[in-house]
């Protein structure tokens, strides 16, 4: 699908291909959408990478990110990869001790944190991180009186990179050219439910291959909109949002806050949407409440046309083709009922809808399918990327679909363990060869 073999090389390709002509990212801030073209992204990444290099960042070094999703977080990730290093994403709700363990175990030399809350966590454990050189924050609110020498605002750090380029022209492009498919791109940490979290290594080759497998099953095109709100420490965010942007030029959209995701969706109108099962359940509940609280004429419209949608959903699940009469009735039902409902929640442009985590109840699948949203269950873990996926024409509520990608076989052991035989799995556990050998 792509000839470029690493994420930084894809950045260079996209910059040369689209420049200021296409939008790469959009962020909502104080109710206004801020737009970043591929030229903007390229320059932010370039100067951030050069600033890190000027502060001693070498190929193979690590950067930890800490905070809710924002463009700066992904610029830092891509800058680390462009400079020959890797990113590890620390979840924003981690306690200082959890931050310390992941930053220490990953050998992170830099931490890129969102705001005062996250910086305070790092300050508490800074003395326990001998490799840590710099802490860069991108939201300066409340930081005016912080004078620790290792702290820097994001913008000030970019200015360092601009100054460094004056005497090191071409260095960024050289670092990008030297990146290799087998280089570590990310280290993603497991939940640690059976012990200390393990750092799962994914190379550029792994990320691009796994993302390519999903794109082969459900293709996206340049300009399609995605929503970024699940943290990059989760493999699904890396594949469905970050790698999609890099590989085909989709646009990453950042809601104003985690609490406004569903309200911001109407303005984003995403083409691909991944929700945990609880979010689909909440959305279903919100829609039902809206219907119950509506006027009598709207309730009448729902009672008239909802059965048409459910009939079409049932035929789809049974793999039966509806006749002309039902197709005509559904066209009217969609125009009168379903499209306005979808538009209220920003779902009119959704081509691919996914759920992950706990199994979604069949009534939720059926409700959204009646409106034309074909939710598909996926199963994936950091070690294999996306393992299984429902296909559009083959959705069984009680399953998580069929294997994704060539050469992938899955079976259940006698002990109930899921066994995966894949042509390409993860690249190891950081500092834990024994665990890797046991897993593979």
pLDDT by position in tens, the chain (length 440)? 466 699 999 999 999 999 999 999 999 999 999 999 999 999 999 999 999 999 999 999 999 999 999 999 999 999 999 999 999 999 999 999 999 999 999 999 999 999 999 999 999 999 999 999 999 999 999 999 999 999 999 999 999 999 999 999 999 999 999 999 999 999 999 876 667 889 999 999 999 999 999 999 999 999 999 999 988 888 989 999 999 999 999 999 999 998 899 899 999 999 999 998 999 999 999 999 988 998 999 999 999 999 999 999 999 988 899 999 999 999 999 999 999 999 999 999 999 999 987 888 899 999 999 999 999 999 888 888 888 888 887 777 778 888 887 667 778 888 877 777 766 778 889 998 877 777 66
- In the CATH scheme, what is the code of domain 7-202? 3.40.50.12780
Write down the pLDDT at residue 3: 61
What predicted TM-score, i.e. pTM, was given to this entire model?
A: 0.92
Q: Which residues pair with 351 in a beta bridge?
A: none
Tokens standing for 292? 């119950």
Q: Specify burial of residue 13 (Cβ count, 10 A radius: 0-12, 13-18, 19+).
A: middle
Nearest alpha carbon to residue 107 among 57, 149, 70 = 57
- Report how far residue 9's alpha carbon sits from residue 178's, in angstroms, rounded to the nearest whole number: 10
Q: Which residues pair with 137 in a beta bridge?
A: 113, 153
Q: Specify burial of residue 281 (Cβ count, 10 A radius: 0-12, 13-18, 19+).
A: middle
Tokens standing for 323? 């006749």
- Report how far residue 355's alpha carbon sits from residue 211's, in angstroms, rounded to the nearest whole number: 17
Cα three-residue angle 18-21-25, rounded to 5 degrees: 85
Write down the pLDDT at residue 192: 62
As a 3-state breakdown, the chain gives helix, strand, coil percent values, each rounded to 5, of 45, 20, 35
């Amino acid at each position: 699908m792509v000839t470029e073999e690493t994420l930084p090389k894809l950045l260079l390709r996209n910059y040369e291909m689209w420049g200021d002509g296409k939008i790469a990212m959009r962020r909502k801030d104080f109710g206004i959408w801020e737009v970043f073209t591929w030229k903007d992204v390229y320059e932010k990444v370039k100067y951030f990478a050069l600033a890190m290099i000027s502060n001693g960042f070498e190929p193979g070094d690590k950067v930890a990110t800490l905070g809710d999703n924002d463009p700066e977080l992904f610029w830092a990730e891509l800058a680390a990869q462009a400079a020959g290093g890797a990113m590890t994403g620390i979840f924003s709700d981690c306690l200082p001790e959890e931050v310390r363990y992941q930053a220490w175990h990953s050998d992170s030399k830099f931490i890129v944190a969102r705001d005062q809350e996250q910086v305070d966590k790092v300050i508490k454990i800074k003395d326990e991180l001998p490799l840590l050189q710099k802490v860069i924050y991108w939201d300066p609110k409340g930081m005016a009186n912080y004078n620790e020498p290792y702290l820097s605002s994001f913008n000030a750090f970019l200015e360092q990179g601009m100054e460094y380029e004056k005497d090191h022209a071409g260095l960024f492009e050289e670092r990008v050219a030297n990146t290799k498919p087998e280089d570590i791109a990310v280290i993603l940490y497991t939940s640690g439910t059976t012990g200390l979290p393990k750092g799962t290594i994914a190379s550029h080759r792994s990320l691009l291959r796994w993302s390519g497998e999903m794109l082969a099953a459900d293709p996206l095109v340049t300009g399609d909109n995605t929503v970024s709100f699940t943290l990059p420490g989760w493999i699904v965010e890396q594949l469905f949002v970050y790698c999609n942007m890099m590989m085909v030029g989709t646009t990453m959209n950042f809601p104003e806050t985690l609490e406004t995701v569903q309200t911001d969706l109407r303005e984003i109108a995403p083409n691909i949407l991944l929700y945990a099962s609880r979010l689909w359940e909440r959305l279903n509940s919100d829609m039902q409440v809206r219907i119950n609280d509506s006027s009598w004429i709207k309730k009448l419209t729902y009672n008239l046309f909802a059965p048409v949608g459910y009939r079409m959903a049932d035929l789809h699940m049974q793999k039966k083709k509806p006749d002309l009469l039902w197709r005509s009735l559904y066209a009217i039902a969609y125009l009168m009922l379903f499209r306005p409902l979808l538009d209220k929640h920003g779902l009119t442009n959704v081509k691919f809808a996914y759920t992950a985590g706990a199994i979604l109840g069949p009534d939720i699948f059926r409700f959204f399918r009646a409106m034309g949203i074909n939710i598909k269950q996926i199963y994936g873990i950091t070690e294999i990327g996306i393992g299984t996926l429902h296909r559009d024409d083959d959705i069984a509520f009680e399953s998580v679909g069929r294997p994704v990608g060539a050469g992938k076989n899955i079976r259940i052991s006698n002990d109930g363990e899921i066994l995966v035989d894949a042509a390409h799995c993860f690249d190891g556990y950081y500092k834990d060869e024994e665990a890797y050998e046991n897993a593979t």
